[in-house]
Structure 1
Amino acid sequence: MKKLILASILAAAGTTAFAADTGTYVFGNLGVSANQWTAKDGAAAKAGVSDKKVNKDDATSGMFEVGVGQRINDNFAVEGSYLNHGDATELKGAGKLDYDAFRVAALGIIPVNDQFEVYGKVSASHIRSKFTATSAALQNSKDSTFGMGLGVGANYKLNKQVSLRAEYDGIGNIKHKDITDTAPVGALKVGVSYRF
């Protein structure tokens, strides 16, 4: 009988610990987004630019992201978010490419201890892009595309509600009509989450 009671207590304790990690949370991230796009041959020829690719030094910009997540269990969560790239990324002589994205993601989580965990991330994004021409030969335009990305990150729990997070997140490849079909996007982010 004592063994049965002890086993029941341990099972209940395990269930309580499991339940403590589930639930809804909101999060916000700040960081740096890189968008190193390449002009299509036709667009580059019209604009008269010989260097068709954005220089690495000009490819980064600040960004922010806000979202909501649902922790299903110790090892799995889903998230939805809105990400906004900061300043448009310029290809001198051709124009500027800017974007924002609506995103969904699945996280596979490995708890390291009670406070620290690491995760891998698979995301799908609806990316809205805007091209602002600086060459009279090109036209301003808007477009949208679908992007898939992979990421890695870590969470550090300050308490039961608040966690700090850091991640590298691949967002996808922007394909903007007549301008670029090679524009990989990624972001390095730090942020905070609050669990309800």
Structure 2
Amino acid sequence: MKKIIIASVLSLTALSAHAAEQGAYLFGNLGYNFSKLKKMDTQGVEGLSSSNSAAGASWELGGGYRFNDHFALEASYADFGKAKSSVAARADGVSGQLDTSLSASALRFAAVGILPVTNELDLFGKFTLNQMYFKGTINAGVNVPTLGIDAAGSSSEKQSRLRPGIGLGAAYKINKQLSVRGEYEYVSLPNWKLPDGSNLMQSGMHVVKAGLNYSF
């Protein structure tokens, strides 16, 4: 009987600990965005070269509320970095370059499903709605020394779109208030087309992130 009572008390203590897993929290993430602008195919074209680079470093700040062991809601702001591409031309003393960039940021809302593995470790999946803000910029320049021509110009355009996303990750509790988290996330991007009909972006956004949670 004594063993049964002790086991019951321990079980109730564990259940109480899980039930306490609720309340508000703040979080911050640093990450890397692998998305790229489409690279122009210059293979076999003399005097032309092209390059592109991933959007790179990203960050996110937000807050959430965990309702129980298995569900939370989050709201955040994220800067997804800036993807760049460049095309350069050089022939017979004439040179020119066309640089394109696309930066992205978002106001975000996420529904988070949580699977507690141990008292310290949680796995989670999330579905996000992202109010995306894009800024595209084009800079062009041409140089013809023999004619004394050295001209440059630029233009930019801003757009906003609502896009869905999904993510998977894990959080490990360091103490009652602080935990570390890591996750992978995919965010769908608009189907932008170049004049030749090809996609502007190579794919949607693939982002890996790591950060901290602080629970109240």
Q: How many residues align?
A: 180
CA contact under 8 A between 1:102 and 1:125: conserved in structure 2? yes
Tell me which structure has the larger Cα radius of gyration.
2
1:11-50 matched pairs, under 5 angstroms = 13=13, 16-38=16-38, 50=41
* Distance in 1, Cα, partners of 2:35 & 2:11: 50
Is the 1:130–1:142 Cα contact (8 Å) retained in structure 2? yes
Instruction: Report Cα offsets for 1:156-181 as digits up to 9, x if no partner.
Output: 00111100000001122145697966
Q: Is 1:185 matched with 2:205?
A: yes
1:10-50: per-residue Cα shift (whole Å, max 9, x none)?
Answer: 786466323310000000000111222348xxxxxxxxx54
Q: Are the counterparts in 2 of residues 129 and 176 from structure 1 also a CA contact under 8 Å?
A: no
Residue 63 of structure 2 corresponds to 68
1:151-170 correspondence runs (5 A)? 151-170=167-186
Written as runs of structure 1 = structure 2, the 5 A alignment for 1:24-173 is 24-38=24-38, 50=41, 58-86=53-81, 88-92=82-86, 93-135=98-140, 139-173=155-189
Return the offset for 1:67.
Answer: 0.3
Deviations 1:37-83 (A, max 9, x none): 348xxxxxxxxx546xx96x711411110000110110111110100
TM superposition shift of 1:185: 1.3
Output the amino acid matched with 1:160. K
Which consecutive unaligned segments of at least 5 residues does structure 2 have? 43-49, 87-97, 141-151
Which structure has greater helix proportion?
1
Preserved contact between residue 143 and residue 177 of structure 1 (Cα < 8 Å): no
For the aligned residue pairs, the C-alpha RMSD in angstroms reads 3.0
Q: Distance in 2 between matches of 1:157 and 1:14?
A: 16
The structure in which a higher percent of residues are strand is: 2
Change in CA separation of 1:143 and 1:176 when aligned onto 2, cut-off 3 Å: farther
- 1:195 aligns with 215
TM-score when normalising by structure 1: 0.78
Q: Cα 1:177–1:131, aligned 2, differ >3 Å: closer, same or farther?
A: farther
Superimposed CA distance per residue, residues 68-103 of structure 1 (whole angstroms, 9 cap, x where no aligned partner): 0110110111110100123x2112134110011110
Distance in 2 separating the partners of 1:140 and 1:61: 21
Is residue 174–residue 185 contact of structure 1 (8 Å, CA) maintained in 2? no
Moved more, 16-25 or 68-77: 16-25
Greater CA drift, 130-139 or 158-167: 130-139
Gaps in structure 1 of 5+ consecutive residues: 40-48
Task: Decide whether the 8 Å contact of 1:94 with 1:138 is kept in 2.
Answer: no
The answer to whether the 8 Å contact 2:55/2:80 transfers is no
Kept in 2, the 8 Å contact 1:143–1:176? The answer is no
